[in-house]
Amino acid sequence: MSSATSGRHPVYKYYSLYGKRLKSTLPLPLPELPAHQAEITIETGQKLPKTLDASPVPSGREWIREPDRSIVRFYDGVGHIYQFDLTGNGSHITISQTWPVWEDSVFALVNMVMGAVLTLQGHPMFHACSLVHGDRAFLLMGDSGAGKSSLSIALAAEGLAAHADDVAVIDNITFPDLNGQTGMPKPVISGSQPAIAPGYPRIKVKPELLDRLGITGVTPIKIATVEGPEKERWIDTDQLPGGTHRKSAPISAIFLLGERTAKSGDPQIRRLGPMQAAFALSGHMYGTVWFNPPGPKNLFLCTYIAEKVPVYEVCLPDDLDLLRASARYLIRHHIAN
């Protein structure tokens, strides 16, 4: 029996994430809300027996589609399994795992699993961090290791509000299912400017970066009981100077982080033309390698956004000690104007 049950009846807590109303038997890193009519129900299932000694897939994760459900399965380095069964087009999530600490599955749930759920429901999203200044969202995109989270924390330390980490859901554009038809589904667009839904109030980062950025008064939070070799932590964004923005915000600009320059000084920034920007954005749709393959829908969306929003290529100095200065430069020249 799950720890989140009382007798035979599950005990739910209520939240909002990515613009969706949730109820969950698993405590989530979100502000609790009064009971409401949930769009997505999350329940912890049974503990699975451990039968593996190592992950059978190189990436450590699988995305499986079956007639009546989708399965998102994760393997750690020693064969433990976290499995998320998605039924009702993602409206119901059941978590089963070998590891006894249920909270260890929270990061996968609020990040990749919710990304899969929203993809099933037709909501596009970017692999990006979102920050807010003056009720406007600014997105940071880039390949893994490009420094999205690091620059997010630097910008939050300079007063921007954290908005979404890693998963930036466009909450006013949806693509209905084709339902057996051929051709391009007509997108549903509400509002003239693409907007980002609020994520969870956490940023994942290596704790030593806080010292390099001169950030104090922040308590790093362990993401899981069993930690990976890099020992990344969550930062509660409410503890950062900019705090957390918990409402949808229209996109004002997008910054694509490129290769760091060997030079010191200010970031190198250039604006991309609409066509170049559209193709660049299409490479940063969330889950393209895993569960959201490239296609005409994504290219249509990126073309639409590139026509509405300025997109900049940003090459930061290759020196972490200059990151706060780079954040101030972006704010001064491209955010607060």
Average confidence score pLDDT of the chain: 89
Residue among 89, 106, 131, 91 nearest 44 (CA): 106
68 and 42 within one domain? yes
C-alpha span between 187 and 43 (Å, rounded)? 31
Residue 132 CA to residue 316 CA, distance in Å, equals 20
77 and 147, same domain (yes or no): no
- Residue 84 vs residues 60, 200, 283: alpha-carbon distances, Å: 14, 19, 26
Sign (positive/negative) of CA torsion 37, 40, 45, 47? negative
Q: Are residues 68 and 131 both part of a single domain?
A: no
Residues 92 and 141 occupy one common structural domain: no
Query: Which pLDDT score is estimated for 230?
Result: 57
What does the alpha-carbon distance between residue 231 and residue 53 come to, in Å, rounded to a whole number?
22
Q: What is the pLDDT of residues 115-136, one digit of tens each?
A: 999 988 889 999 999 999 999 9
Sequence-separated (6 or more) residues with CB below 8 Å from residue 58: none
User: What is the extent of the structural domain holding 12?
Assistant: 1-121
Among 76, 101, 121, the domain-final residue is 121
Domain boundary pick from 121, 137, 157 = 121
- Structure confidence by residue, pLDDT tens digits, 135-165: 999 999 998 778 898 999 999 999 999 999 9
pLDDT class of 3 with cuts at 50, 70, 90: very low
Q: What's this model's pTM, rounded to 2 decimal places?
A: 0.91
Domain count for the chain: 2
Of the three residues 106, 121, 136, the one that is the final residue of a domain is 121
What's the pLDDT tens digit per position in 186-225?
678 777 789 999 999 999 988 889 999 999 889 999 887 7
CATH number, domain of 134, equals 3.40.50
* Residues with Cβ within 8 Å of residue 283, at least 6 apart in sequence: none
103 and 143 part of one domain: no
Regarding whether 205 and 85 lie in a shared domain, the answer is no
